[in-house]
Structure 1
Amino acid sequence: MTASGTSPSRSTDTAPQGRPGLRRGLKMLGTLFITLSATTPASSVFIISPGVVSQAGTGAFWAFAVAGVVGVFMALIYAELSSAFPLSGGEYAITARALGKLPGFVVLGLILVTQLLIVAVIALGVGTYLEVLFPHLDVAATAAVTTLLATALAVFDIKLNAWVTGIFLAIEMVALIVVSALGFFHPKRSLGDLIAHPVAAAASGSTVTAVGVGTIGAATAVAIFAYNGYGSAVYFGEETTDAPRNISRTILWALAITVFAELIPTTAVLIGAPNLPSLFGADNMMKYFITATSDSTVNDVISLAVAVAIFNAVLAIILVTARMVFSTGRDAAWPGPASRALAAIHPRFGSPWIATILTGVVSAGFCFADDTFLLVVTSTTIIAVYAALALSSIAGRRNGSTAHAAYRMPAWPLAPVLALGAIGYVVYENFQDPKVGRPSLWTTIGIAVVSAAYYLIVVRRRGAWELKGAEDA
């Protein structure tokens, strides 16, 4: 029995040896393109940032700044763990090796459900921004078609997809630069005002009032998730050259770029908005800001750029999720025929093609699910995954399972300890929200319980789940 809890014995359910594996066709830059596309800064600024602003007003600056510090803690954890285990299974493969198989399978369940649904959550934004050219679009159908088109592209070679995401990423970055310029070139208040005197909408809606530390803290919980996605680089560890070093570097670069790409435009909007009560009360804050500081044509062009960014995010997340689903098949998490199918590699493109198609089809189906259902299921599962990774980094140091890591986080164990503290605070804030946060926490617990039960009753008794890497293909 190794430190990861794996057993040398094999089961007849295990996928046969000798099948082709994923190809190492990515350099660090290509992996960074896909990772940033999965993080999707433009989508966060246009979709998530307004929610933070509506809650904390100009205190959103502090919320995003503090969230960036929390992001540093998690990025350091991701970097060390991914340099030890640069595997396509991502978080579940890491947790299973550092904490044990049962926690690993629970994380597998959480990630599997979240990733399949999050594609639908993001894709549903495409129709909103395409309405500038095509009014009265069916949002759900548009999202499903978007998902299926991205799936078709995701089946192709990973290098092609890296270039496609890189081109689309450049488009969304240009949109963010334009938004930043609109705010900073015609400022209506100073950065000092945002820092020293944060304000939010008053009860009347026509004036502003000082915002407290507690409100900013609650908004920080949302801002943390706006930055999420930098850890996606680990899923391409088996397709990236010199993965132990390049994946950890990619994660750290992805976080830094994401924080700047989201914090700067958000700050520009808060500084350049002509009227704060109008900004806070707008149904679409970004549309209000852009039309108030330029014109409707600029808003139309930027809206199309955001639609491109959302498609890019859907493509990147399907690439990520397909590799995780592929890994579950290779590890024989499911009955033999299903596992062997999911572990199949396309002979020409070198992609996990069956896992990719299944991911896209299931996610497209979820595009027709109720919005509240999608929000409740996906809101807090990442909290549990973050906690598992923080604990894995501590356990890996203690039991030696991460001793071979190419990257070691500085000032250990400061990052995991502070990350766990921040996670505890986010859990508390979500529990105070009876509409979405609390139901989401109970849903997360429910998914974890079902995953644990499946592992204990089915997988462990079958003795088939083996943690594999590229060398086992």
Structure 2
Amino acid sequence: MPTLDQLFRRKPVPEMSAESGSDSNQSELERSIGLFQLSAFGIGATIGTGIFFVLSEAVPIAGPAVIWSFVLAGAVAGLTAVCYAELASAVPVSGSSYSYAYATLGELPAIGVAACLLLEYGVSAGAVAVGWSQYLNQFLDNVFSYQLPSQWTMAPEEGGCDPSWLPCSDAYINLPAVILIILVALLLIRGASESATVNAVMVCIKLGVLVMFIVIGVTGWNSDNLSPFAPDGLNGVTTAAGIIFFSYIGLDAVSTAGEEVKNPRRNLPLAILIALVTVTTLYLLVSLIAVAAQPAAEFEGQSAGLSQILEDITGSEWPGTVIAAGAIISIFSVTLIVIYGQTRILFAMARDGMLPELFHRVNPRTLTPVPNTVIVAAVIAVLAGLIPINFLAEMTSIGTLVAFLVVSIGVMVLRQTHPELPRGFKVPLYPVTPILSIAGCIWIIQDLRAVTIWVFLIWVTVALLWYAVYGFKHSHLGRHEHVGLIHDEETPS
């Protein structure tokens, strides 16, 4: 039987730095991403999830007070973002909070965090891709007066079928969501630098579209729409905050690029903070104008809501068409970065022996983990095609919250165990900031639905069983060894 010392063995930070080449600026993966592109990762992974379609889920619960739901979620995310900034500057490797947990809490907790990250990244990519179909149909209807058949743009359960996974006539699969995942996978296989450049262009477009929404939307301001402001009180605000919290996942996505960033100790924390300020400002402005321009009752069941608001204000279809086109680009960007993050987390886990070496295998020409990317894309395509968006969003939220909580704990642990580590950024008001971050995460978690929490606990249990069966035995740390990079043409030993 393994001892507690074995289960909670920590991976030395110097070994992590050596593997990633963070100090020598050499890495198994290509260091080709600069500060602007990295900031665009954070902005691109965040804007386009919550603000483009989750208002239809959150406003019916919180009413116009959904503004405070965004403030609450943003405050917790902001507290955690500065914790991420410190850990990313101290441990600038791929793997995000999985790697941070391995360095601070130990191997077994790291596996639990990895399970959270699989929800946070893999499931959120599915949720975002589902929303893409709604805006694609809005765009096609406005431009070509055509919509894709509902049987091919919804999950089976959304089509009104008995969710027994038997074929039915109402809905078969969300095909546009599956196609989006395939396109993203092809781009990621081509290269990280190319993916980062494409994302940066898409981010600039989406920012322009949201600014346009703010400028036009404010002309439709109607104070009467803000009353009653909080029909369900504080409970509605906190419940909605839990649903929309997954929209802040982009702040975490920055940290997954640790081994492909130039000057990571400086650029990782800077990019996280730049993304935090940009995203929070836009979320608050857009949500405020949206609930002031449209009665709260009209958000329920409304697809492509921002487009509809502008069409109602102007009496014309062109603003809605632009918003729909911007959302199509925006959600492509989100999906791209989230799937990228998922593959890099699995890459780090495989390097540690927690997963088969297949996930660590890198193409020698593109320097990207091709088999890893193909497997991730296939699984997410199934989620996006067959699972309804509301359940996907809640599962993403709880995975994100637990990962954020662990990062906040990790900051305090690393301050005690490795005070000598060079840090490009330090958490202000330590230790108050990480403690408040932990409290905020717990506060939002306890407001999630019981079924979400139970499914999450079952999922973490499955991950721990995987560790018991495979990870513990294959752990490179346990073997006191490190297996180097395996290229496609090589055979793993």
What TM-score bracket applies, with the shorter chain setting the length? 0.7 to 0.9
* Runs of at least 5 residues in structure 1 that lack an aligned partner in the other structure: 201-209, 431-436
Using the TM superposition, give the Cα deviation of residue 454 of structure 1 relative to its aligned residue in structure 2, in angstroms: 2.5
User: Which residue of 197, 200, 203 corresponds with 1:166?
Assistant: 200
Using the TM superposition, give the Cα deviation of residue 136 of structure 1 relative to its aligned residue in structure 2, in angstroms: 2.6
User: Which residue of 208, 211, 220 corresponds with 1:177?
Assistant: 211
Conserved? CA contact 1:99–1:396, under 8 Å: no
Using the TM superposition, give the Cα deviation of residue 377 of structure 1 relative to its aligned residue in structure 2, in angstroms: 3.9
Check if 1:214 corresponds to 2:235: yes
Aligned partner of 1:348 in structure 2 is: 365
Check if 1:33 corresponds to 2:51: no
Q: What are the residue-to-residue correspondences of 1:22-421 with 2, within 5 Å?
A: 22-39=29-46, 41-132=47-138, 133=140, 134-137=146-149, 138-139=152-153, 140-189=174-223, 199-200=229-230, 212-273=233-294, 276=295, 279-280=298-299, 283-284=302-303, 285-294=305-314, 295-334=316-355, 338-339=356-357, 341-371=358-388, 374-375=392-393, 377-400=395-418, 403-421=421-439
SS at match of 2:348: helix
Structure 2 distance, partners of 1:330, 1:34, is: 24
Structure 1 distance, partners of 2:330, 2:29, is: 27
Report the TM-score when normalising by structure 2. Answer: 0.81
Change in 2 beyond 3 A, CA 1:127/1:457: closer
Conserved? CA contact 2:93–2:99, under 8 Å: yes
Using the TM superposition, give the Cα deviation of residue 367 of structure 1 relative to its aligned residue in structure 2, in angstroms: 2.4
Conserved? CA contact 1:169–1:309, under 8 Å: yes
Structure 2 distance, partners of 1:157, 1:236, is: 13
Counterpart of 1:289, as a letter, is I
The Cα offsets for residues 102-157 of structure 1, whole Å up to 9 and x where unpaired, read as 10111112212442222222111222111131413422111111101110011122
Change in 2 beyond 3 A, CA 1:56/1:467: farther
User: Which residue of 444, 451, 463 corresponds with 1:426?
Assistant: 444
Counterpart of 1:33, as a letter, is A
Conserved? CA contact 1:182–1:272, under 8 Å: no
Using the TM superposition, give the Cα deviation of residue 199 of structure 1 relative to its aligned residue in structure 2, in angstroms: 1.6
Change in 2 beyond 3 A, CA 1:243/1:467: farther
Conserved? CA contact 1:125–1:307, under 8 Å: no
Aligned partner of 1:204 in structure 2 is: none
Conserved? CA contact 1:188–1:272, under 8 Å: yes
Report the TM-score when normalising by structure 1. Answer: 0.84
SS at match of 2:446: helix
Structure 2 distance, partners of 1:114, 1:248, is: 20
Change in 2 beyond 3 A, CA 1:248/1:472: farther
Q: Does 217-226 or 165-174 show the bigger shift?
A: 217-226
Check if 1:448 corresponds to 2:448: no
Using the TM superposition, give the Cα deviation of residue 280 of structure 1 relative to its aligned residue in structure 2, in angstroms: 4.6
Conserved? CA contact 1:4–1:98, under 8 Å: no
SS at match of 1:367: helix
Using the TM superposition, give the Cα deviation of residue 328 of structure 1 relative to its aligned residue in structure 2, in angstroms: 1.9
Aligned partner of 1:434 in structure 2 is: none
Q: Does 113-122 or 403-412 show the bigger shift?
A: 113-122
Using the TM superposition, give the Cα deviation of residue 401 of structure 1 relative to its aligned residue in structure 2, in angstroms: 6.9
Using the TM superposition, give the Cα deviation of residue 418 of structure 1 relative to its aligned residue in structure 2, in angstroms: 0.8
Conserved? CA contact 1:87–1:237, under 8 Å: yes
Counterpart of 1:384, as a letter, is V
Using the TM superposition, give the Cα deviation of residue 466 of structure 1 relative to its aligned residue in structure 2, in angstroms: 6.7
Check if 1:6 corresponds to 2:27: no
Conserved? CA contact 1:331–1:467, under 8 Å: no
Change in 2 beyond 3 A, CA 1:187/1:230: same
Structure 1 distance, partners of 2:331, 2:270, is: 25
How many residues are matched?
A: 439
Structure 1 distance, partners of 2:10, 2:96, is: 17
The Cα offsets for residues 19-51 of structure 1, whole Å up to 9 and x where unpaired, read as 981011111111111222111x13321212332
Identity %: 21
The Cα offsets for residues 288-325 of structure 1, whole Å up to 9 and x where unpaired, read as 41221122232123112211211111111121111112
RMSD: 3.1
Counterpart of 2:114, as a letter, is L
Structure 1 distance, partners of 2:91, 2:36, is: 20
Structure 2 distance, partners of 1:244, 1:99, is: 22
Structure 2 distance, partners of 1:151, 1:46, is: 23
Counterpart of 2:399, as a letter, is T
Using the TM superposition, give the Cα deviation of residue 465 of structure 1 relative to its aligned residue in structure 2, in angstroms: 5.0
SS at match of 1:199: coil
Structure 2 distance, partners of 1:460, 1:247, is: 31
